[in-house]
Structure 1
Amino acid sequence: MLYFNTFTLHELVAFAVMAPLALLFYVIYWKFGRRHLDLLYASLVACCAAVALLTFLIENLVPAGTPAREVVGAAERTVLLSRIQYAFGLVVMALQLHFVFRYRGARSFLARHIGLVYALLLAAIPCIWSNWFLAPRAQPVGPTSSWRVAVPFLPEDGFLVLPYVGLWLLVQATTLVLLYRPASRRSGGEESALPFGSLVRLSFVVLAATALVDIILAASGWAGIALIPAGAVLISVMVAAALMKGRLDAERQRQRLDREASTESWRSPRGFSRACCRRCRPGCRASSWPVGAVRPPGRAGTPTTSCPCRMETG
């Protein structure tokens, strides 16, 4: 026997997929090199997982087949969970912008002051707890819960919802413009860390499209199941695949460079390989240089036969 409405199963699956992904990338960030893209991705997916879980809870406040009027406190709990959901939505907007700025190496005012974006969006959270944003519905929009009326006590929107929707659309438009705009050679972004550029762009397009469909349906009075959890799952899986592929490519590149350095054929004077001298020099400010090595201008040290990295070549 299922203790939840079957038409909300996709939201439960979305949470079950995104929560472990977020945890996995937090572990990757702390244990395998603290790359900021991994941290931003983990935080973004964790917030999307929270939104999916809240959507699942909201759509299960009224069990299917139970008269909505008989569920005590359903309207108030629907408003409370919806407000928390909208608050997480603000955090998702900030993290999404931060991720894309970092990915593309954007140098705009917002990119250079991303902390200000976080501060402004977090400062707007108290407005969500106003009846000017959401208000409890006195009468249910449907007799019970179903896939067409998943939220019988869908909160009544206040005028502050319009700026919220406008902000969401602005964030999605900014994200897509940044992703599809040709990157500058001097951007300094981490786009190389995500080899599947087209996959990353497609994932954000899907997220924006599902959110836009939900907004249009809600504005027309639709109280059925939400589509955005499905879009959040797709973006989570697509970007996770790109991040993991980027890590594997970087590891293979590192191993290739190490092999090339260890097998470099020609040597510098006194039996030290050129790769050895290159490795020693950055760390020899206060120590000495191998005999025969060319001492760069401004570097101290006395020529000696000891090589700090011990890569002597017979």
Structure 2
Amino acid sequence: MTSLIDSGALQVLVVAFGIGIVVGLTGMGGGALMTPALIFLGIPPTSAVANDLVAAAINKSAGAAVHLRHGSPNRVLVKWLVLGSVPMALLGSWLVTAIGGEEDQQKFLKVAIGCALLLTAATYAMRMYFELARGIEDDPNAPDPRVHPLPTFAIGALGGLLVGITSVGSGSLIMVSLLLLYPALSAVRLVGTDLVQAIPLVIAAAIGHVLSSGVDWSVLIPLIVGGTPGTLLGARLASLVSQSIVRRGIVMVLTLTGLGMLKIPPVWVGILGAAMVILGPVGWGLLRQAHGVPAFEHRPFPLREKSSRVSRND
């Protein structure tokens, strides 16, 4: 019981709360940020992946229930995605255990997670661009496009394998792939579909990793206790914070973290980080202008009405 309240568990709780805020603000970044954060806190990669998947399965269920209740997900798309993703998620977790000894597994996971983070950063950037390109024309009442079973099954299989190995990708790779395959699908249906299909995917991956690595309660409980209120707070703050800025920050963090996991020399990581900080906003502003919107997003805080204490004669 003391392990649940030691300094290590407190660090996990604080990190989970902070990442939960990011997830609540943007709807993205959960596994892609949490798994490497746990590894940097000194938790073995196998344990970080297993516990993050279990926590994600619990935290995502509430959001999926909301989307199911309001009918936003495309159930046919969900069916084909799940048929592809669940078996491959189980296969991915088995591949990790089949590599060899624990030391070999840790080395493999660090490289795999580093590559997954770079892929996720690229897909996040693509998602931001696609949302910018089609944002004005998005119609939540538009009819659903015709479903292509085999390509959708393949998207689920690829995403399931990535999540099964690294716990990263359920909300990024699959989302962008669906954007490419179904550009006419409305944003609310797209988010609902992605969130609902992620539940069986994450549960399958979690089962595979838990069977091989077990559950570390001193990691899992702080993940849930910190992540849930953080997500709720982030959702409340979403209307006050520019999601564009936060998402660009996520892309930068994922890129630099992925390079760090791949043992790229820190000096080159620093140079790239400085270039992204300086040139990133300029490039994004030019893209926004090319699509007919202002280069920089202005989101002023709403002004409150004058207090009743002010006299009408003033």
Q: TM-score range by the shorter chain?
A: under 0.3
Give the structure, 1 or 2, with the largest relative contact order (CA under 8 Å, sep 6 or more). Answer: 2
Scaled by the length of structure 1, what TM-score is found? 0.27
Greater fraction helix: 2
